[in-house]
Amino acid sequence: MGTGFDFEIIEHDERARAGIFHTPHGDLLTPVFAPVGTQGTVKSVTPAQLEQLDASLVLANTYHLYLRPGDKVIADLGGLHQFMHWDKPLLTDSGGFQVFSLAESRRISDDGVTFKSHIDGSTHELTPEKSIAIQENLGADIIMAFDECGSPYDIAKNETAMLRTHHWVERCITVKTRSDQALFGIIQGGIYPELRIRSAEFLASLDLPGYAIGGLSVGETKKETLSTLELVDQYLPETKPRYLMGVGSPEDLVRGVQRGVDIFDCVLPTRLARHHAAMTRTGRINIANARYSTEKSPLDENCSCYTCKNFSSAYIRHLVLAKEMLAATLLSIHNLHMLITLMNDIRQAIMNHQFDHFATNFLENWESAL
Amino acid sequence: MGTGFDFEIIEHDERARAGIFHTPHGDLLTPVFAPVGTQGTVKSVTPAQLEQLDASLVLANTYHLYLRPGDKVIADLGGLHQFMHWDKPLLTDSGGFQVFSLAESRRISDDGVTFKSHIDGSTHELTPEKSIAIQENLGADIIMAFDECGSPYDIAKNETAMLRTHHWVERCITVKTRSDQALFGIIQGGIYPELRIRSAEFLASLDLPGYAIGGLSVGETKKETLSTLELVDQYLPETKPRYLMGVGSPEDLVRGVQRGVDIFDCVLPTRLARHHAAMTRTGRINIANARYSTEKSPLDENCSCYTCKNFSSAYIRHLVLAKEMLAATLLSIHNLHMLITLMNDIRQAIMNHQFDHFATNFLENWESAL
């Protein structure tokens, strides 16, 4: 499958990699963290603010945009980039995960999934073919194969889901028409090494432009997550980007990069912001806490974001208590800046062959704060 | 009362005036519209976005900030400018109007007003002395005398409220200590010309740096509002700025300037934004309307704001239906831009001695759209 989506690895440091992934909307410097814009907007911030934060990749959700406003509406308006006014790389998921986690009364078969919309109860079907058609209407740079994500601890169900996922990725490849979109396959297999190896080997054989590790952070232990990452790292082609879906706490980003992951996405920074939490490099703080009521210092003394350069913790606490929208905006800006600069620092550490030292330091500071 | 708050009238055009009001935080070019930041934030926008909109004066509410987070907290954090990160001119009201409109079980005497907080039911007292002390803690450039606003149609109650307001402004002048704040007096008198004349003459005799016309837009007819403005215009000193409190619809701004008003404030642009309405020069549109579901054009084809330059009406409607915060932000940016550029155009028309023509044109387009 020729794609034109070249991935150059600039530097290795142990298993960590610093790379460049070329897309039609610009280069992604990896490792990279993608803010999530579920409904075509990263919650509480404008695209101009995302630009100022130096965000480079944004994820949007196929399930949500298919249901509302509809992928055809977005196509008629020039595609998702133009619709949400984001000129840099975009990634859409396949819709599969949301169907399993959000939709009502879903019914799964080898053909696809029938489900009821969480918005109005209307009935819909998603299949590999339909997921690709929707994602082609949306027009993101990176699109995902339609997959089934099993519960982590049932080997039989995980094998079924994995085999289905393998058949479905082949159907996705068959119907895909746009050459300006990179189709990533998704490895399944729960916590079972033998399934994960089979899934990684099968997908590697398809020579896709990138690979996601699915079915993690869905209930398994942290140790199981990390050992699964270490395992699939050995079976995935070195020369393709690896994407750990839905992962975004600072310590998980560091541990993921240590295990060869290049791309991450998560709602965490903007969701925490709406729940009054600020992320720092030593842990989270809840700014609604009374201890901040007269606090002159910013959320994080060492942070250079718009929020920390200009506003006291006391002001942000006031906004939270007064239920002002600006609270979520200022906290989102800070949390996104925190993760984006963390990834920049990780990349720099890899370039300097100091990532192991960086990671050890980071995790020690992080854990001492918990 | 020497103040250093010079008001230069650069140009007259009939009763309309183009001026410059000098304040410690910069010059206000008048006529000017002030966005409202009730709780120390103009709802849904950042100070950086307000700067980009070229807003020059922001109003904050003494009642709200006194109750939460408290004026002493704000003073300890460097004052309201620093607290909310707004380096340009600020205006605070006296708290009187909010006590009458928001607080519970208020009791009024010649000394002041006792009331219960709308937040937690706690009992508080506001007097002229306390209002000035709070406003000195907040530190706005323009502060307002504590006044009583009567209901428009009761002559006896209006006379009582007016006389109280006159006694209270004298007490405000007596206790005021900061020379970097301009104290504006407030004319009362309901719809009764004899009261309005007495009030304007009394306040003019105090030689204050500016005058507000209070007790309007509180239930009287539009005709009564306008004739009151025309009346007080004749009794107020030409050389001082006049402020029409709480007024902000486009047609009222034009009609106010026609009658000699220099300063306006209103929650309208940001409140309408939270209710899905966009202001244009020909009227309001409700962007949630189904007719916008596939509309490629912006809110207003002739608008140069961030929202209109970058987003389709269909996208903004989608954000509204999806209950995304960005809807309020983009609509607020548009509505604020609309009023701020309207005021700039009004000022330019006055400078060119074409304001009468401008106003006639504007009001014809506006009314034809209703």
pLDDT tens-digit readout, A126-136: 999 999 999 99
- Structure confidence at residue B105 (pLDDT): 81
Contact assessment for residue B63 and residue B38, using Cβ atoms and an 8 Å cutoff: no
pLDDT in tens, A149-181: 878 889 999 999 999 999 999 999 999 999 999
Q: What is residue B218's predicted lDDT score, i.e. its pLDDT?
A: 86
Say if residues B223 and B240 touch (Cβ distance below 8 Å): no
| pLDDT, mean of each 10-residue run, chain B (370 residues) | 79 98 98 98 98 98 98 98 98 92 86 94 96 98 94 91 97 98 97 97 98 92 96 97 95 97 98 97 94 98 97 98 98 98 98 98 81
> B44 contacts in A (CB within 8 Å)?
325-326
Of A47, A311, A318, the CB nearest to B85: A311
Confidence (pLDDT) at B368: 66
CA distance B175 to B171: 6
Average pLDDT over chain A, rounded to an integer: 95
pLDDT of residue A1: 42
Query: Quick one: pLDDT at residue A152?
Result: 81
Task: State how far residue A144 is from chain B, nearest Cα, in angstroms.
Answer: 24
Parallel/antiparallel/unpaired status of strands B113-116 and B104-108: antiparallel
pLDDT at A131: 98
Helix (H, G, I), strand (E, B) or coil at A243: strand
Q: Which entry of B71, B93, B262, B300 is annotated as an active-site residue?
A: B93
A314: nearest CB among B73, B322, B326: B73
> What integer is the mean pLDDT of A266-278?
98
Please check the confidence at residue A111 and state whether its pLDDT lies above 50: yes
CA distance A70 to chain B (A): 10
Give the pLDDT confidence score for residue A149 in this predicted structure: 85
Pick among A318, A319, A323, A324 to test the B interface (most B CBs inside 10 A)? A318
pTM of the complete model: 0.97
In 3D space, the residue among B31, B6, B44 whose CA is nearest the CA of residue B348 turns out to be: B31
pLDDT single digits (tens) A330-354: 999 999 999 999 999 999 999 999 9
- Distance between A222 CA and the closest CA of chain B, angstroms: 33
Q: Which neighbouring-strand residues pair with B286? A: B277
Question: Per the structure block, which two tokens stand in for A338?
Answer: 């925190």
Average pLDDT rounded to a whole number, residues A110-136: 96
* Mutation site for A-interface testing, chosen from B67, B76, B85 by largest number of A Cβ within 10 Å: B85
Q: Which residues of B touch A46 (CB under 8 A)?
A: 306, 326, 329-330
Chain B hits for A296, CB-CB cut-off 8 Å, are: 77-78
pLDDT digits (tens, 9 = 90+) for A197-247: 999 999 999 999 999 999 998 889 999 999 999 999 999 999 999 999 999
Q: Residue B38, SS3?
A: coil
Q: How far is CA A251 from CA A279, B172, B311, in A?
A: 11, 57, 36
Catalytic residue from among B13, B71, B147, B265? B265
Which residues between 158 and 217 in chain B have a beta carbon less than 8 angstroms from any beta carbon of chain A? none
Q: What is the mean pLDDT of residues A178-191?
A: 97
| Residue with the two structure tokens 């960086």 | A358
Residue B24 near chain A (CB below 8 Å): no
What gap in Å lies between CA A141 and CA A132, rounded to an integer?
A: 13
Structure token pair of residue A165: 């996922």
A319 CB neighbours in chain B (<8 A) are 39-41
Strands A90-92 and A58-60, sheet pairing: parallel
Is A300 considered catalytic here? Answer: no
Q: Are B191 and B161 in contact (CB under 8 A)?
A: no
Those residues with Cβ within 8 angstroms of residue B245's Cβ, 6 or more apart along the chain or in another chain:
B93, B97, B186, B212, B213, B214, B216, B265
Residue A46 dihedral angles phi and psi, to the nearest 5°: -90, 160
* Positive or negative torsion for Cα A281, A284, A288, A290: negative
